[in-house]
Chains A and B, each alone.
Chain A
Amino acid sequence: MPDNKNDLIEYLLRLGDNALINGQRLCEWCGRAPALEEEMALMNVGLDLVGQARNWYEYAAELLADGRDADQLAFRRDERAFRNTLLVEQPNGDYAVTTAKLFLFDAWHLHTLQALTASSDARIAGIAAKGLKEVTYHLRRSGEWVERLGDGTEQSRQRMLAGIDEVWRFTNDLLSSDEIQQRLAAAGIAADATAVAAAWQASVEQVFERASLPVPPPASYFYLDGKRGLHTEHLGILLAEMQFLQRAYPDATW
């Protein structure tokens, strides 16, 4: 076993939780999207993300080797043990809030996975390479929607501005790093957070410029940190719904 095993498990859970919670929010759109094409697209993106979550969890479960499998990591941990970024747990709001959330996350996700394809951990590099193809599509799609809404009608522009304003404060948590990630990055395993943040900023500026939207100043830290399991009040309710069956019937096989 590598001596950074605990760091690695934490990092894998972050990647898995980000994908799963984002995918869960997309499930909530089922039957409620603004057009049939969007019904398909949202479920498609969600499907990719939940699939990626399963890949990260499976690796984490192998390293944990405590008898828990990917499903138990997804459905039996409480909110203090979840490691997702605050951005993805935010409620869907209207289509502009959802679009802002997806775009800001996708941009981070793309640059993170891109970096991880060069990870010295072959398993991580493999999962990232597979996910990168999907996330490239996600980012193109969400970026195009930022542009359509930002540079569409006056109403859609106002809503897009409000949507960005609603979730921008969570980008600090998204881009920040800690000792775990720094140690893993130094070992060539994890993505370098500073490099990802710079690439993220460039992607956001590019799309916002095309959409003639102003780029807000960097978000500041406000005491919560998804990486450490310090979440907003939204996550607990999301988990109560998502985990209900596994909690109610702990000995069941589905």
Chain B
Amino acid sequence: MYAQLVETGVKRVKDLEEMTPEERAFQERIDAEIKIEPKNWMPDAYRQTLIRQISQHAHSEIVGMLPEGNWVTRAPTLKRKLQLMAKIQDEAGHGMYLYSAMETLGADRDAEIDKLHSGKAKYSSIFNYPTLNWADMGAVGWLVDGAAIVNQVVLQRTSYGPYSRAMIRICKEESFHQRQGYEILLTMMRHGNQAQKDMVQDAINRLWWPALMMFGPSDADSPNSAQSMAWKIKRMSNDDLRQRFIDQTVPQLEFLGCTAPDPDLKWNEERGHYDFGQIQWQEFYDVLKGNGPCNRERVSTRRKALEDGQWVREAAVAHAAKRQQKQNAA
């Protein structure tokens, strides 16, 4: 999940009788599975929740370039380098696509990016973990993009049209990244030496729990979920998505010949699902609040990029104005 804790600002979900006629018409449209489009009336809280969620999602794509940028200069073969570069390029594209979707709600891209840089806006907690060996590039593709896909596949049916359409496009590329990531790990496990196999297991050990945290707090601690579900912004609960991810990922883990860093992980015949251990929620909230291993570096790198680039953007604007002037004069 790339937007794992989104405030709705709503304490209690209203039922139809309590709503104004506008609100009721809106809710009925949602209930009938008709997409909401930019020019339609929508409750302000719906608009603000979506701005928060889509911007968080966009920020995650952009900050998410950094852990991979850390290894793109050190990729071990030309093929791997090309794959990683193509992936990073896709992510920049996803970020731009999502910012555009967000702008259909009347939000301003630069203002939202300012919130990211001042620490007010969040991005996925996963990108605050460091990438420490090459296998992390495989594990990020497989686990992190894998978790994102589980979430995004469902978001293809989200109630806001522009967001839904963004997800449909983005999912196609993400699935490709996930397969590539898995193939990186599989190659190292099948054809690698012991040092490479150790790298793979080490990457999984470090990224397994942070990947599970991508789905957000457990349903019991997710007060904003009810409203998001009623608005059909969210279509499945955090815990259901997390369970779906674990159920589909464990067989892939076994196929690799690796293990999860979770002694409680085992198949539950009765439930038809994997049981798994307790997530360290304190760590989750710490990372989300800015106290994770790389929060400081990630935000300051992005802030510095924007500051260092200011004169470049100003030049582009000034040049465009000059060119326009010349055209008008001609």
Residues of A within 8 A of B (CB): 23-24, 27-28, 30-40, 43-44, 46-47, 50-51, 53-54, 57, 70-71, 74-75, 94-95, 147-149, 151-153, 155-156, 159, 241-242, 244-246, 249, 251-254
* Residue interface mask B33-62, A partner, CB < 8 A = 1: 000000000000000000000000000001
What is the CA–CA distance of A39 and B68 in the complex, to the nearest angstrom?
Answer: 13
Residue pair A31, B65 in contact (C-beta under 8 Å): yes
Residues from chain A with a CB closer than 8 A to the CB of B188 are 253-254
Residues from chain A with a CB closer than 8 A to the CB of B316 are 148, 152
Residue pair A50, B82 in contact (C-beta under 8 Å): yes
In the complex, the 4 A-B pairs of residues with the closest C-beta atoms, listed nearest first = A34-B309, A152-B315, A30-B69, A156-B315
Residues from chain A with a CB closer than 8 A to the CB of B305 are 31-34
Residues from chain B with a CB closer than 8 A to the CB of A57 are 78
* Residue interface mask B203-242, A partner, CB < 8 A = 1: 0000000000000000000000000000000000000000
What is the CA–CA distance of A43 and B306 in the complex, to the nearest angstrom?
Answer: 17
Residue pair A254, B76 in contact (C-beta under 8 Å): yes
Given A47-B85, A152-B317, A159-B311, list of 9 further CB < 8 A pairs?
A: A34-B306, A36-B96, A40-B92, A75-B77, A149-B312, A249-B196, A252-B193, A253-B187, A254-B184
Residue pair B313, A35 in contact (C-beta under 8 Å): yes
A42 to chain B, nearest CB (A): 9
A34 to chain B, nearest CB (A): 2
Residues of B within 8 A of A (CB): 62, 65-66, 68-69, 72-82, 85-86, 88-89, 92-93, 95-96, 99, 134, 184, 187-188, 191-193, 195-196, 301-302, 304-306, 308-319, 322
Residue pair B195, A249 in contact (C-beta under 8 Å): yes
Residue pair B301, A32 in contact (C-beta under 8 Å): yes
11 contacts between A and B (CB under 8 A): A28-B73, A30-B65, A31-B301, A33-B309, A38-B309, A44-B89, A152-B315, A152-B316, A155-B314, A249-B195, A253-B192
Question: Considering only CB atoms, which chain B residue lies closest to A241 in the complex?
Answer: B73
Residues from chain A with a CB closer than 8 A to the CB of B65 are 30-31, 39
The CB with the most chain A CB atoms within 10 A, among B80, B88, B308, is that of B88
Residue pair A254, B80 in contact (C-beta under 8 Å): yes
What is the CA–CA distance of A38 and B95 in the complex, to the nearest angstrom?
Answer: 13
B210 to chain A, nearest CB (A): 19
The CB with the most chain A CB atoms within 10 A, among B312, B313, B319, is that of B312
Q: Quick one: which of B66, B99, B192, B314 contacts A156, CB cutoff 8 A? A: B314
Residue pair A244, B74 in contact (C-beta under 8 Å): yes
Residue pair A32, B72 in contact (C-beta under 8 Å): no
Residue pair B85, A50 in contact (C-beta under 8 Å): yes
Residue pair B96, A37 in contact (C-beta under 8 Å): yes
B105 to chain A, nearest CB (A): 19
The CB with the most chain B CB atoms within 10 A, among A40, A54, A57, is that of A40
Residues from chain A with a CB closer than 8 A to the CB of B77 are 71, 75, 246, 254
Q: Quick one: which of B72, B78, B86, B92 contacts A53, CB cutoff 8 A? A: B78
B contact face: mostly helix, strand, loop, or mixed: helix
Residues from chain A with a CB closer than 8 A to the CB of B88 are 30, 39, 43
Residue pair A152, B314 in contact (C-beta under 8 Å): yes
Residue pair A151, B76 in contact (C-beta under 8 Å): no
B74 to chain A, nearest CB (A): 6
What is the CA–CA distance of A152 and B310 in the complex, to the nearest angstrom?
Answer: 13
Residue pair B196, A74 in contact (C-beta under 8 Å): no
Residues from chain B with a CB closer than 8 A to the CB of A28 are 73
Residues from chain A with a CB closer than 8 A to the CB of B187 are 253-254
What is the CA–CA distance of A70 and B308 in the complex, to the nearest angstrom?
Answer: 37
B75 to chain A, nearest CB (A): 8
A117 to chain B, nearest CB (A): 23
Residue pair A43, B92 in contact (C-beta under 8 Å): yes
Residues from chain A with a CB closer than 8 A to the CB of B72 are 27, 30
What is the CA–CA distance of A37 and B309 in the complex, to the nearest angstrom?
Answer: 12
What is the CA–CA distance of A66 and B7 in the complex, to the nearest angstrom?
Answer: 62
Residues from chain A with a CB closer than 8 A to the CB of B306 are 34
Residue pair B92, A36 in contact (C-beta under 8 Å): yes
Residue pair B319, A151 in contact (C-beta under 8 Å): yes
Residue pair B95, A156 in contact (C-beta under 8 Å): no
Q: Quick one: which of B99, B193, B309 contacts A95, CB cutoff 8 A? A: B309
Residues from chain B with a CB closer than 8 A to the CB of A36 are 62, 92, 95-96, 99
Question: Considering only CB atoms, which chain B residue lies closest to A253 in the complex?
Answer: B191
A77 to chain B, nearest CB (A): 13
Residues from chain B with a CB closer than 8 A to the CB of A95 are 308-309, 312
Residue pair B81, A34 in contact (C-beta under 8 Å): no
Residue pair B301, A51 in contact (C-beta under 8 Å): no
Q: A40-B92, A44-B89, A242-B73 are in contact. Are A35 and B68 (CB under 8 A)?
A: no
What is the CA–CA distance of A159 and B311 in the complex, to the nearest angstrom?
Answer: 10
Question: Considering only CB atoms, which chain A residue lies closest to B310 in the complex?
Answer: A34
Q: A152-B315, A159-B311 are in contact. Are A32 and B74 (CB under 8 A)?
A: no
What is the CA–CA distance of A148 and B314 in the complex, to the nearest angstrom?
Answer: 10
Q: Quick one: which of A70, A94, A153, A156 contacts B78, CB cutoff 8 A? A: A70
